[in-house]
């Protein structure tokens, strides 16, 4: 066999190998980017969902707030009479709160009313932590994506531990 033919085959193999290595690199970068976008989407969705309740629990100034006495619970909501703090509104015979954020029957809890509704959001540390529970869940899910899809184990551990700590604090505060 002539020497030029062997050399040509060697060059072709070398080119194919470099091309396949480049393609594999592109696939790795694409996978990492896609997993990063998925993790970011999970975190944004968690913040978005949490903020819809957290804004009432955290920013009570200028809103109608008072005390709710839990009288009955049915399904996912608890109800009871509402007494406003001085100058923030009028008393209401029945206001509802999420069952997960409500104390035991007969207990009182400080709440803020959502504007234009009879739905209440718990305030204080327990209310704020409860409002951020969806974000804690998103952190846990995103940690799995970051660990498995992006291979960033330490970052994933940090995210997972932060999510678990937030869930634990919310559970302890309730």
Q: What is the pLDDT of residue 84?
A: 92
Q: 141 and 156: one domain?
A: yes
Q: 30 and 77: one domain?
A: no
Residue 76 is part of which domain span? Answer: 62-122
Looking at the domain assignment, is residue 127 inside a domain? Answer: no
Q: 68 and 48: one domain?
A: no
Q: 105 and 152: one domain?
A: no
Q: Which of 71, 98, 72, 69 is nearest to 84 (CA)?
A: 69
Q: What is the pLDDT of residue 161?
A: 98
The owner of tokens 């009432």 is 56
What's the CA angle centered on 65, arms 87 and 125, to 5 degrees? 140
Q: What is the pLDDT of residue 24?
A: 79
Report pTM.
0.81
Q: 116 and 157: one domain?
A: no
Looking at the domain assignment, is residue 85 inside a domain? Answer: yes
Looking at the domain assignment, is residue 108 inside a domain? Answer: yes
Q: What is the pLDDT of residue 3?
A: 57
Q: Which of 53, 105, 110 is nearest to 80 (CA)?
A: 105
Q: Mean pLDDT, consecutive 10-residue segments, the chain of 174 residues?
A: 62 69 81 95 97 91 90 93 86 92 90 91 93 96 95 96 96 90
Q: What is the pLDDT of residue 23?
A: 76
Say which CATH number the domain at 105 has: 2.40.50
Q: What is the pLDDT of residue 47?
A: 97
- Residue 67, classified by CB atoms within 10 Å of its CB into exposed (0-12), middle (13-18) or buried (19+), is middle
Q: Number of structural domains, the chain?
A: 2
Tokens representing residue 122 in the block: 């718990």
For residue 75, report the phi and psi dihedrals to the nearest 5 degrees.
65, -125
Looking at the domain assignment, is residue 92 inside a domain? Answer: yes
Q: 91 and 118: one domain?
A: yes
């Amino acid at each position: 066999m002539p020497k030029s033919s062997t050399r040509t085959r060697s060059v072709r193999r070398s080119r194919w190998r470099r091309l396949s290595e480049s393609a594999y690199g592109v696939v790795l970068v694409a996978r990492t980017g896609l997993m990063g976008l998925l993790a970011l989407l999970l975190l944004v969705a968690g913040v978005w969902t949490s903020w819809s309740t957290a804004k009432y629990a955290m920013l009570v100034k200028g809103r109608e707030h008072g005390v709710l006495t839990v009288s009955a619970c049915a399904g996912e909501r608890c109800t009871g009479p509402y007494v406003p703090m001085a100058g923030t509104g009028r008393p209401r015979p029945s206001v509802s709160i999420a069952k997960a954020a409500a104390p035991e029957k007969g207990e009182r809890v400080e709440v803020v009313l959502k504007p234009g509704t009879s739905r209440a959001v718990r305030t204080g540390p327990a209310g704020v932590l409860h409002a951020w529970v969806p974000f804690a869940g998103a952190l846990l899910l995103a940690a799995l994506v970051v660990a498995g899809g992006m291979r960033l184990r330490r970052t994933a551990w940090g995210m997972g531990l932060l999510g678990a700590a937030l869930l634990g604090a919310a559970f302890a505060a309730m």
